[in-house]
Structure 1
Amino acid sequence: MMTGRLGNALRSILDIILPRLCPVCGKRLTVNEEGICFTCFRHTERTFYENTPYDNRVARMLWGKMNIEKAVSMFVYIPKGHISQTIYDMKYHGKKNLCTAMGKIVAAQIEGSGFFNGIDLIVPVPLARKRRKQRGYNQSELFANGISRITGIPVCTKAVERVSFSISQTQLTHNERTRNVEKVFRMKNPDMIKGRHVLLVDDVFTTGSTVTSCGNEMAKAQGVKISVLTLSTVILHGISD
């Protein structure tokens, strides 16, 4: 209890010196708020796919494309909406703490559903070295770290790598997206995920082409099982995954 009180006191002091702002509305975050404020969170459209992880829109989009156990996306991605602004800040505004905070928020919200039961490792979709160097970090890896802090499930970043710098998915058609990410992932250390149940994590799910390409490469490891978790899913067309 004392640790919590001291932590809140320290956060209060830091918030005075370096106030944290909600990336959606610009409001100052309170001591108990992380990532986005409670008001914006309440107005962000949820999918509640964690209640049907084996049969929902995201899971069905992966059927027949990869050997999938279960899949969840937490939010609906709406252009110029609450979550789209958050993800834009995560990717392009260097807000590393926001990436981790959103992972913690997602994990805390769906942990009670039992979705994480049986998961051995969390594997974030990797970035190519060139893009990671440009950005300075992989937002999906930081998002995965946030999930790990809540669930205690370790993050593995050494099993698979991205070997090509594919062009942005934003303006591509479904078929072009699929071709754009074909053979861009390579297994590095299959023994790290051999016989394990792996949770593949990314920020946005659109057509599933990126997740499918990465998942099928990881499926080369003997006895591996793969589930998927993304921060959001696009219902409309034309948004990058």
Structure 2
Amino acid sequence: MLKNLINLFFPQICEACKTPLQDNENSICISCRHELPVTNFHFENNDVVKKLLYGRLELENATALLHFSKKGLVQELLHNLKYRGHEQIGKFLGDWLGGELKTIETYQTIDVVVPVPTHKKSKRERGYNQVTKFGQQIAKALDVDYYDDALIKTSHTKRQVFKDRVTRFEDVNKRFEIGNTVGLYNKHILLVDDVITTSATIEACGLLLQTIPGVKISVATMAIVE
């Protein structure tokens, strides 16, 4: 009764379409969930993400949960997550993808989940790294450790979505450093991020992680721009 009373005055709404959620819905209404453009890359052994990084970063596995398109439901979700303080979206997407990855044999060899870091200024302004909940829930589903200090972002960057891959990589590559590597030697690391665009960020972070002896890298993101 208390929950119903709270929802009457402060209704929870769908993060994608803004309609009130029903009691059995969480973050996203059932209708929007069915409309979200899932990739199924990990179920179909699709190498789209690996091909983006072919010849630049050696990967064991790579996937993205959703297709990203301008003005679509996925953009609305990720903008709510990254710019509007709706951190619960990361948890929702992490639970979703983590639940799927734990059923796939090639992802069961992962030892640790590492997020792409955000700069301390962005984290202070936003209050969190938008990838944290996503990565934590995947780690929980796979029953592995979550390391949020393996990589460090050393400088604040402006949005780079309109830069080409080479220019973006040259810029991004200067802005990350390796952090705490204790416990990462000879591990299979799942590197997680929100969106793959040119793949420059994943490439820069993955190459740093590959300087750790014996490391293998896989990648999982919330969405991919194709």
Q: Same fold (TM over 0.5)?
A: yes
State whether residues 101 and 142 of structure 2, in contact with CA within 8 Å, keep that contact through their aligned partners in structure 1.
no
State whether residues 168 and 200 of structure 2, in contact with CA within 8 Å, keep that contact through their aligned partners in structure 1.
yes
Find the partner of 1:56 among 16, 34, 47: 47
> How far 1:29 sits from its partner (Å)?
2.0
* TM-score of the pair, normalised by structure 1: 0.86
Name the residue aligned to 1:41.
Answer: 33
Task: Supply the distance in 2 between the matched residues of 1:106 and 1:133 (Cα, whole angstroms).
Answer: 27
> How far 1:146 sits from its partner (Å)?
2.4
Task: Supply the distance in 2 between the matched residues of 1:231 and 1:115 (Cα, whole angstroms).
Answer: 19
Task: Supply the distance in 1 between the matched residues of 2:34 and 2:104 (Cα, whole angstroms).
Answer: 19
Find the partner of 2:216 among 204, 222, 225: 225
Alignment partner of 1:161: what SS? strand
State whether residues 124 and 200 of structure 1, in contact with CA within 8 Å, keep that contact through their aligned partners in structure 2.
yes
State whether residues 111 and 187 of structure 2, in contact with CA within 8 Å, keep that contact through their aligned partners in structure 1.
yes
> How far 1:216 sits from its partner (Å)?
0.4
List, as ranges, runs of 4+ consecutive aligned residues in structure 1 with deviation greater than 3 Å. 9-18
State whether residues 190 and 220 of structure 1, in contact with CA within 8 Å, keep that contact through their aligned partners in structure 2.
no
> How far 1:168 sits from its partner (Å)?
1.1
The one-letter code sitting in structure 2 at the alignment partner of 1:62 is L
Alignment partner of 1:29: what SS? coil
Flag structure 2 segments of 5+ consecutive residues without an equivalent: none
State whether residues 11 and 31 of structure 1, in contact with CA within 8 Å, keep that contact through their aligned partners in structure 2.
no
Alignment partner of 1:63: what SS? coil
Name the residue aligned to 2:104.
Answer: 113
State whether residues 66 and 212 of structure 1, in contact with CA within 8 Å, keep that contact through their aligned partners in structure 2.
yes
Name the residue aligned to 2:145.
Answer: 154
Alignment partner of 1:139: what SS? coil
The one-letter code sitting in structure 2 at the alignment partner of 1:214 is C
> How far 1:11 sits from its partner (Å)?
6.2
> How far 1:172 sits from its partner (Å)?
1.6
Name the residue aligned to 2:162.
Answer: 171
Of stretches 32-41 and 63-72 in structure 1, the one that deviates more from structure 2 is: 32-41
Task: Supply the distance in 2 between the matched residues of 1:64 and 1:78 (Cα, whole angstroms).
Answer: 26
> How far 1:10 sits from its partner (Å)?
7.9
State whether residues 126 and 161 of structure 1, in contact with CA within 8 Å, keep that contact through their aligned partners in structure 2.
yes
Find the partner of 1:210 among 175, 198, 201: 201
State whether residues 188 and 216 of structure 2, in contact with CA within 8 Å, keep that contact through their aligned partners in structure 1.
yes
Flag structure 1 segments of 5+ consecutive residues without an equivalent: 1-8, 236-241
Alignment partner of 1:227: what SS? strand
Of stretches 37-46 and 208-217 in structure 1, the one that deviates more from structure 2 is: 37-46
Cα distance change, pair 85–124 in 1 and its aligned pair in 2 (3 A) = same
* TM-score of the pair, normalised by structure 2: 0.92
Q: CA offsets, 1:10-38, max 9 Å, x none?
A: 86665456432111111222333223112
Find the partner of 1:87 among 56, 78, 92: 78
State whether residues 112 and 139 of structure 2, in contact with CA within 8 Å, keep that contact through their aligned partners in structure 1.
no
Task: Give the number of aligned pairs.
Answer: 226
Identity of aligned residues (%): 28
